[in-house]
Chain A
């Protein structure tokens, strides 16, 4: 049973560019959340997708957008990259739209913006 997978593992971009990160949820899971973790800090909630809609959003600018596909996989897009966007981006999946359900995290994508 595959857990949460993310691609790519590492990514290097320059300021102003755009990036797309991908996440496949754990088998059977239908809810995907994205988190940003800057070096030395705890993860911060970006947004959550359920039934192909953004259901909740954290305090992140509109440069951060996402999508969920019918197979429950998800993408995180970041436009007009800034140096401060350098971070580990974590995807988490869960079964059902409820805070009572455990979230399973993927290994993350390390984004470096030069």
Chain B
């Protein structure tokens, strides 16, 4: 079953604009991760944010996590055509000794127009 729900399902912007994608989930989590997928190929890990963190940055990416609202957002600044891909959030409710088990949402399809 899908825990995360991404919003919007599809997003089309111009190069240079910022893109914001949201993710909501249902149960308590250990961490939340964002992945990118190009054209049905493998997943590329973007960023991991732990449940005790509120914000994290990596290059042009900014992720926030609000555990009280069970939601997260991914912001891509100064987007490029190469950012065109599907973006997935994945929650992990495992622990230090219980192993990772990711539950993915259905993704946001981002299109960046040159």
Contact = CB atoms under 8 A, between A and B. Distances in A.
B97 interface: yes
Contacts of B45: 102-105
A45 B101 contact: yes
B21 to A, nearest CB: 13
Contacts of B48: 102
A58 B48 CA distance: 22
Interface string B87-99: 0101011111111
Given A99-B30, A99-B95, A100-B30, A43 B40 contact: no
Interface residues of A, number: 35
Contacts of B35: 105
B102 interface: yes
Contacts of B102: 33, 35, 43, 45, 92, 103
12 contacts: A4-B42, A31-B100, A33-B100, A41-B106, A45-B101, A45-B102, A88-B40, A90-B43, A98-B97, A98-B100, A99-B96, A105-B43
